[in-house]
Structure 1
Amino acid sequence: MSATRLTLTLATPSRVWFDAVEIVSLRAEDDSGSFGIRTGHADFVTLLTPSVVRWTCADDSIHYCAVDGGVLLVSHGTEVSIACREAVPGDSLEGLEQGVRSRHVIEADAARRARVEQLQLHARAVRQMLRYLRPRADADGAGADSIGGMLR
């Protein structure tokens, strides 16, 4: 690693997206607003807001990654580390926008399926309770019609 370069590591719980990638500068956003990091930056830690992190490599290429928040740490003036729950990388803002939209569609579909499964489990539990309660009402004789009528 060159002394004039930063390295970027960006990770989520399920994947390391970038591991010690050499960069020239990085822009990110926290509650106080947008800020930049260059070589020699003081040690620093902040909570990122859901936003797009942007960095420039030595060949002047710009890369992007949408993050849902997270923690950014600068160490020794040369190491930038970002830890977040979700990340969507992209080489262009247009591609990144499409990737984020695609991710939202997938997440919405998964949430919808989870709600359906939860409702199905709830309905099965209620049916099971009804099966359990009906024989008791019938065995008592009295009130079997009223309890059975209420449970139907």
Structure 2
Amino acid sequence: MSDDLMHLKVLLPSEVFLDVAEVRRVVFETSEGSYGLLPHRLDCVAALVPGILTYQTASSAEQYVAVDEGVLTKAGAQVSVAVRQALGGSDLAQLQAAVDKQFKAQEATERTNRRVMAQLESGFIARLEKYKST
């Protein structure tokens, strides 16, 4: 790899989501705003907020990754991003639609989980009351 390029990895809890060599630049979002990384920038660590991570390789146009909150580290030419969720694409409109779809599915799952937890709690309280009365 050339000194003017970086290696980008996006890591999820269960897998390596993205592993790209020959990256020219990376743009990411923090609570303080957007920042860009170039190959010769000093090493750093940043807390990411949910948003769009943009990168460009030596041989392609900009690519986009929608990321959840997480951490970005740059050490030498290695840029690692650890997040809970990520979706990638080269078209922002399609990426937005995919994020919306995943968000709606996640919201439905969370609603179901809250309902099940409420049922478990009420069942536990009912059994505890029954146990107390005996």
Q: Tell whether the structures are fold-level matches, with TM greater than 0.5.
A: yes
One-letter amino acid of the structure 2 residue matched with residue 92 of structure 1: D
Is 1:89 aligned to residue 119 of structure 2? Answer: no
Mean CA deviation greater in 125-134 or 84-93: 125-134
Q: Note if 1:124 corresponds to 2:103.
A: no
Match of 1:107 in 2: 106
TM-score scaled to structure 1, two decimals? 0.78
Q: Which one has more relative contact order, counting CA pairs under 8 Å at least 6 apart?
A: 2
- Deviation of 1:11 after TM superposition, in Å, equals 0.5
Q: Alpha carbons of 1:5 and 1:116: their partners in 2 closer, same or farther (altered >3 Å)?
A: same
Indicate the residue corresponding to 1:148 in structure 2.
Answer: none
Change (3 A) 1:23 1:128: same
Greater radius of gyration (CA): 1
C-alpha distance in structure 1 between counterparts of 2:131 and 2:75, whole Å:
63
Change (3 A) 1:92 1:126: same
Q: Give the deviation of 1:57 after TM superposition.
A: 1.4
Unaligned runs of 5+ in 1: 137-152
Task: Give the fraction of aligned pairs with identical amino acids, expressed as a percent.
Answer: 28
1:70 and 2:56 aligned: no
Higher helix share: 1
Q: Name the TM-score, length of structure 2 as normaliser.
A: 0.87
- Residue 145 of structure 1 is matched in structure 2 by none
Equivalent position amino acid for 1:100 in 2: V
Give the paired residue count: 134
Which sections of structure 2, spanning at least 5 residues, go unmatched?
none
* AA at the equivalent of 1:110: T
